[in-house]
């Protein structure tokens, strides 16, 4: 049996493995018992003991945004923690045809596992299928392919939960205020993730009948758009009690507009987990009081999952012999009470 045929069997069929081998695979990647482990990508790797050498191909979009740059950094730094991992990383592109070409190059190099954050999940589904059919398991990062057949495991953030937790945080802060007014600075409206964040936010606010959302403006996840769209909101709304901004990068611009307008008297909740947001929350001398995580550390976890796939292991702390088919990360709220815990995960 060839190597590719064997690996394809593991992806699409059942492998006959002895109970002893399964137990070894399951227990060999137990996490350490340290009680004082640092947060995020500073966490010790799940299993530092060297195993089978694994070459992981990593393909992401162009890092033209703080969060996307942090995705690349997390993947690289996580791979460096493992002596048994070689990372083949592409330049990244927002052009789908170019990214497909980059992934096909990795397939032709016969990497052991692929980690892909597609510029467009729908457009790249076929190349995910191509890798899986070639016996190369795919870890689909964040932007999901159209079919589960195109990946072995999906890991990503919870956009609905992000909006839900932002809404509940604001709701609890304003629940004693009659006639409370909130506004929303969203991201790109043509993205499904933006719609999910807004739906989660709106659903949370339904629990607080004293709160009304009086305005919503969509920006473009950039500093410039955040500043321009926030200026429009401030001009249109002479008084409000809370603002939820979907993205900390565009939040830098939003805060500039707020400062230029000389406005305060409301609380602001951001989104994603930028270092600048954490620092402002810790300083606690402005309107930004919290941010809801969409952690770029998911790329580090994707490397962990890819390594486990390449070595035929499960995940420490779980009874199953295989890694899960999907992992949805939790959108924690970071405010001044817990910001120190998350500071090391903040992206620039």
pLDDT tens string 89-138: 999 898 999 999 999 999 999 999 999 999 999 999 999 999 999 999 99
Q: Is residue 14 domain-shared with residue 151, that is, in the same domain?
A: yes
For residue 345, tell me if it sits in a domain.
Answer: no
For residue 10, tell me if it sits in a domain.
Answer: yes
Tokens of 130: 């191509």
Q: Is the pLDDT of residue 30 over 90?
A: no
- The better pLDDT of the pair 65, 321 is held by 321
The pLDDT > 70 percentage for the chain reads 86
For residue 344, tell me if it sits in a domain.
Answer: no
pLDDT band per the 50, 70, 90 thresholds, residue 24:
very low
Output the pLDDT for position 65: 81
Q: Distance between CA atoms of 42 and 241, rounded to whole angstroms?
A: 36
DSSP 93: -
For residue 341, tell me if it sits in a domain.
Answer: no
Examine the fold and report which residue of 247, 271, 294 is the final residue of a domain before the chain moves on: 294
Three-class secondary structure of residue 288 per DSSP: strand
For residue 343, tell me if it sits in a domain.
Answer: no
When the pLDDT of each residue in the chain is averaged and rounded to a whole number, the result is 88
Mean pLDDT across the stretch 263-275? 97
Q: Is residue 240 domain-shared with residue 250, that is, in the same domain?
A: yes
Closest CA to 55 of 114, 137, 130: 114
Q: Is residue 37 domain-shared with residue 8, that is, in the same domain?
A: yes
For residue 119, tell me if it sits in a domain.
Answer: yes
Q: Is residue 306 domain-shared with residue 279, that is, in the same domain?
A: no
Q: Is residue 192 domain-shared with residue 120, that is, in the same domain?
A: no
Closest CA to 94 of 129, 124, 66, 138: 124
Output the pLDDT for position 44: 47
Q: Give every CB contact of residue 168 below 8 A, 6+ residues apart in sequence.
A: 204, 207
Q: Is residue 153 domain-shared with residue 163, that is, in the same domain?
A: no
> How many domains in the chain?
2
Tokens 């589960």 correspond to what residue?
148
Output the pLDDT for position 42: 55
Q: Is residue 285 domain-shared with residue 141, that is, in the same domain?
A: no
pLDDT tens digits, 176-200 = 999 999 999 999 998 889 999 999 9
Q: Is residue 290 domain-shared with residue 175, that is, in the same domain?
A: yes
Q: Is the pLDDT of residue 31 over 90?
A: no
Q: Is the pLDDT of residue 36 over 50?
A: no
Examine the fold and report which residue of 245, 269, 294 is the final residue of a domain before the chain moves on: 294
Range of the domain at 77: 3-157+296-331
Closest CA to 182 of 246, 255, 268: 268
Output the pLDDT for position 45: 52
For residue 339, tell me if it sits in a domain.
Answer: no
Q: Could you tell me how many residues make up the chain?
A: 348
Q: Which CATH number does the domain housing residue 259 bear?
A: 3.40.50.2300
Q: Is residue 58 domain-shared with residue 116, that is, in the same domain?
A: yes
Mean pLDDT is lowest, of 63-67, 90-94, 256-260, for 63-67
Mean pLDDT across the stretch 228-244? 98
Q: Is the pLDDT of residue 311 over 90?
A: yes
Q: Is residue 178 domain-shared with residue 262, that is, in the same domain?
A: yes
Q: Distance between CA atoms of 233 and 215, rounded to whole angstroms?
A: 7
Q: Is residue 131 domain-shared with residue 198, that is, in the same domain?
A: no
């Amino acid at each position: 049996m060839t190597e590719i045929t064997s690996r394809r069997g593991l992806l699409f069929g059942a492998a006959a493995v002895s109970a002893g081998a399964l137990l070894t695979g399951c227990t060999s990647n137990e996490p350490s018992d340290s009680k004082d482990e640092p947060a995020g990508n500073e966490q010790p790797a799940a299993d530092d003991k060297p195993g089978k050498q694994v070459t992981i191909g990593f393909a992401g979009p162009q890092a033209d945004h703080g969060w996307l740059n942090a995705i690349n950094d997390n993947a690289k730094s996580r791979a460096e923690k493992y002596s048994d991992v070689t990372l083949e990383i592409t330049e990244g592109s927002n052009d789908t045809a170019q990214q497909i070409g980059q992934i096909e190059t990795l397939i032709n190099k016969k990497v052991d596992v692929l980690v892909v954050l597609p510029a467009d999940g729908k457009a790249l589904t076929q190349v995910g299928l191509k890798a899986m059919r070639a016996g190369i398991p795919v870890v689909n990062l964040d932007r999901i392919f159209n079919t589960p057949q195109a990946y072995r495991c999906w890991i990503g953030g919870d956009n609905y939960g992000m909006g839900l937790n932002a809404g509940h945080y604001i709701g609890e802060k304003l629940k004693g205020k009659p006639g409370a007014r909130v506004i929303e600075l969203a991201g790109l409206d043509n993205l499904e993730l933006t719609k999910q964040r807004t739906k989660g936010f709106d659903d949370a606010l339904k629990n607080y009948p004293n709160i009304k959302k009086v305005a919503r403006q969509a920006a473009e996840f950039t500093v410039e758009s955040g500043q321009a769209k926030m200026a429009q909101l401030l001009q249109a709304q002479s008084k409000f009690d809370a603002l939820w901004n979907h993205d900390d990068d565009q939040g830098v611009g939003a805060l500039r507009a707020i400062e230029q307008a000389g406005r305060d008297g409301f609380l602001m909740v951001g989104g994603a987990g930028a270092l600048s947001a954490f620092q402002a929350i810790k300083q606690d001398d402005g309107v930004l009081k919290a941010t809801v995580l969409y952690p770029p550390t998911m790329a580090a976890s994707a490397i962990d999952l890819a390594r486990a796939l390449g070595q035929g292991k499960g995940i420490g702390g779980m009874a199953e012999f295989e890694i899960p088919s999907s992992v949805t990360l939790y959108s924690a709220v970071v405010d001044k009470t817990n910001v120190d815990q998350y500071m090391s995960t903040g992206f620039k």
